[in-house]
Amino acid sequence: EVQLVESGGGLVQPGGSLRLSCAASGFTFSSYWMHWVRQAPGKGLVWVSRIKSDGSSTSYADSVKGRSTISRDNAKNTLYLQMNSLRAEDTAVYYCARGLLWFGEPSYMDVWGKGTTVTVSS
Amino acid sequence: DIQMTQSPSSLSASVGDRVTITCRASQSISTYLNWYQQKPGKAPKLLIYAASSLQSGVPSRFSGSGSGTDFTLTISSLQPEDFATYYCQQSYSTLWTFGQGTKVEIK
């Protein structure tokens, strides 16, 4: 069964750091782009970041650029999101998702994890 | 950034109704448009990719159309399990964006 399981969320103070993990199983992790998407309480979905299958290319939303780093360990089938200088507005459920290509370009996300909750509060 | 605007933000419909949700992009995005369904407390689920391609396992009552700036998601005959929030998402630009969502409620 294709599965993504996030972990690492929790309560952190403003200005703190957190590293989220996403464990993949049931597919060849090293062949796929991977994404992070977040959802603040009662709000809509916001794309956060993506990384190429071999880790050679990354992109970030403006809201996290410079404060977050996406990475992956293909030997461990695990995706990461290191988040620094956390703010109250980073409070959200963070989902990892598998990315697929359309005409060779990253295009959509077909498998999602259940999410991990990050709360930034003093 | 490309802005995605969905309409309506919410709607009430009955089982068996035909439902149409619209998504408009702030600039042309060709057919780089996807639709997701999300139920409360659950992860999003991919319904439609590349504007009109039905994801495997998704019922055929769901369909998508459009290109350029205007897109629609249609549910031909609403079923009880379809009451959820629907999001469009563009992948034309490097920075992806979602619409604000359309909540489909029971009438």
Q: Per-residue confidence of chain B (107 residues) as pLDDT tens digits?
A: 999 999 999 999 999 999 999 999 999 999 999 999 999 999 999 999 999 999 999 999 999 999 999 999 999 999 999 999 999 999 999 999 999 999 999 88
What is the 3-state secondary structure of B24-75?
A: EECCCCCCCEEEEEECCCCCCEEEEECCCEECCCCCCCEEEEEECCEEEEEE
**Closest-CA residue to B65 (of B78, B54, B77):** B54
Give the tokens for residue A33.
Answer: 């782009």
- Asked if B52 and B64 count as a contact pair (C-beta separation under 8 A), the reply is yes
Check pLDDT > 90 for residue A62.
yes
CA distance A49 to A105: 15
Amino acid at A86: L
What pLDDT does residue A105 have? 87
What pLDDT does residue A24 have? 98
What pLDDT does residue A104 have? 87
CB contact under 8 A, A47 and B95: yes
What pLDDT does residue A106 have? 85
A58-83 mean pLDDT: 98
Contacts of B98 in chain A (CB under 8 A): 44-47
A16 in contact with B, Cβ within 8 Å: no
CA distance A93 to A78: 18
CA distance B107 to B105: 6
Q: Which strand (E) or helix (H) includes residue A45?
A: strand A45-51
CA distance B58 to A98: 18
Mean pLDDT rounded to a whole number for chain A: 97
A59 in contact with B, Cβ within 8 Å: yes
Check pLDDT > 90 for residue A114.
yes
Pairing verdict, β A33-39 and A45-51: antiparallel
How close B35 comes to chain A (CA, Å)?
Answer: 9
Give the tokens for residue A8.
Answer: 């690492």
A80-100 mean pLDDT: 98
Extract the runs of DSSP E, i.e. beta strands, from A52-113: 58-60, 68-73, 78-83, 92-102, 105-112
How close B94 comes to chain A (CA, Å)?
Answer: 7
Peptide bond just before B8 cis, omega within 30 deg: yes
**Per-residue pLDDT band at A102 (split at 50, 70, 90):** confident
A72-99 mean pLDDT: 98
CB contact under 8 A, A114 and B1: no
DSSP SS3 for B81: helix
